[in-house]
Structure 1
């Protein structure tokens, strides 16, 4: 009769077979879960096998997976805090109102665009301040905004940001029918490392530097998400938006853009 000690040794043929089968199942499961299934997602592109394994394990992809051309491009150098432009003077707002006359052709005389440019009325001052700095430095490029921003001084950028933040948020000119919240907005996609949109862009709780999105142009928001996903736009802090947009499906991008475009903005002033 075989003793208990002998039962769990490799001298026991049955034990050896059981361990072998268990080990094989673990290997097959790991390969399927960490390699086969990640590469089976048509909306995600991985640089290599290790990139796919990191993604499946919930670990952010390494910087090395970013293409070399993108690494060589200029990145945002703006540092924002919760106190950035938090107490503007009336003089600064007045100077910004004068400067904003040059912006009206695209962003509207009241900061509400009749085209597909972003609405700026009531936008957080830190957001406008950062984007203008990025347009001026080349961290973000646009055929219209880049030539306009390149000659702005630091004071003029701050004045414009304070003026638009002072304006009340108004309904968009081309609102879409009110839509229910899609899952990507409410829950995000934790398995793919996507946080809910409201975690940064919420109306009540906003991350410094993140714009409010309600009532913005659907075409504009969709274009920006696609630009982040492709790496064409790269002025996001710590690649947060690029990492999120790359993991979103085309359908999720369309749903998020359509949802926010359908929401009326809070009719309040962003600056007291």
Structure 2
């Protein structure tokens, strides 16, 4: 028997093989797309059409773009670039020093806070600039900072940012980083703090945490976790903070502040 006749419908064995394949395909499709999904108790699988769509991973109903639900809170619209402030001039830093006189009561005369406000000395200029923009737009709210940022011009924010970035940062004395800082908790989708906030790597827009008061860090993580602070990019910090335990939050905050961690 030549190859042409072997794969011909005139060949009874070939017809049987094709027919059996089709039957197996139909039975598998019915089981996978209809019977198994329909056996689920979840309402989204009820009905043949819903079961097929759910099994295939496609929407049961296509919604027009206009029906998208708008966010219930203001989100950060600030666009940052890694070299955004590299060309800062001495004049800009000097103007920032003058503008920052109003900030000394909370953030200290040299950017090191004696209260539980964040230290700004040595902080990345992109971080300070973004937070001021967010306070002004309402993406981040504070009874103190929102009014302070309300009337600042964009250049004012840039000048303040480069001024604080030019100052010598706090240098807390501490031992080896705890696990939550050094490696995170990968099984709970918690990356190492050091992978974004310095130590291993530093991502643009992520603040240096060295020397920040423990009470401030704990308060911000709690705000991210409960959603009252929502100016993080792509909800990164909200997703992380929700998965952290109170003990992990306290440990990370204490270590960055240079305090003995629990």
Instruction: Decide whether the 8 Å contact of 1:70 with 1:231 is kept in 2.
Output: no
- Equivalent position of 2:86 in the other structure: 86
User: Which of 211, 235, 240 is residue 236 of structure 2 equivalent to?
Assistant: 240
Secondary structure in structure 2 of the residue aligned to 1:147: helix
Q: Which has the higher contact order (CA 8 A, sep 6+)?
A: 1
Per the TM alignment, residue 169 of structure 1 is displaced from its structure 2 partner at its CA by 1.2
> Which residue pairs with 1:221 in the alignment?
217
Query: Shift of the alpha carbon at 1:152?
Result: 0.3
Aligned partners of 2:199, 2:156: CA distance in 1, in Å? 27
Instruction: Describe how 1:1-272 pairs up with structure 2 within 5 A.
Output: 71-171=71-171, 178-203=174-199, 205-262=201-258
Listed as ranges, the gaps of 5+ residues in structure 1 are 1-68, 264-272
The one-character-per-residue Cα deviations of 1:54-76 (angstroms, maximum 9, x if unpaired) are: xxxxxxxxxxxxxxx99310000
- Give the Cα separation in 1 of the matches to 2:164 and 2:132: 13
Give distance in 2, aligned partners of 1:166 and 1:223: 27
CA separation in 1, counterparts of 2:199 and 2:90?
Answer: 25
Distance 1:255 1:121 in 2: 23
Count residues in correspondence: 191
Q: CA deviation at 1:183?
A: 1.3
Relative to structure 2, which stretch is displaced further, 197-206 or 222-231? 197-206
2: distance between equivalents of 1:100 and 1:136? 16
Shift of 1:203: 3.7
Measure, in 2, the Cα distance between the counterparts of 1:156 and 1:178: 35
Quote the offset at 1:92 in angstroms.
Answer: 0.3
Q: For the residues of structure 2 that align with 1:91 and 1:182, how far apart are their CA atoms?
A: 41
Equivalents in 1 of 2:153, 2:200: separation in Å? 32
Report what 1:22 is aligned to. Answer: none
1:178 positional shift: 3.1
**Once the two structures are superposed, what CA deviation does each residue of 1:157-182 show, in whole Å capped at 9, x if it has no partner?**
000001000111134xxx6x735422
Q: Distance in 2 between matches of 1:231 and 1:86?
A: 33
Task: Give the distance between the partners of 1:116 and 1:87, measured in 2 at CA.
Answer: 32
Note the residue ranges of structure 2 that are not aligned, 5 or more in a row: 1-68
State the distance in 1 between where 2:227 and 2:84 align.
Answer: 27
- TM-score, normalised via structure 2 length: 0.70
Confirm or deny: 8 A CA contact 2:170 2:210 kept in the other structure: no
Q: What secondary structure is seen at the aligned counterpart in 1 of 2:255?
A: helix
When Rg is computed on C-alpha atoms for both structures, the one with the higher figure is 2
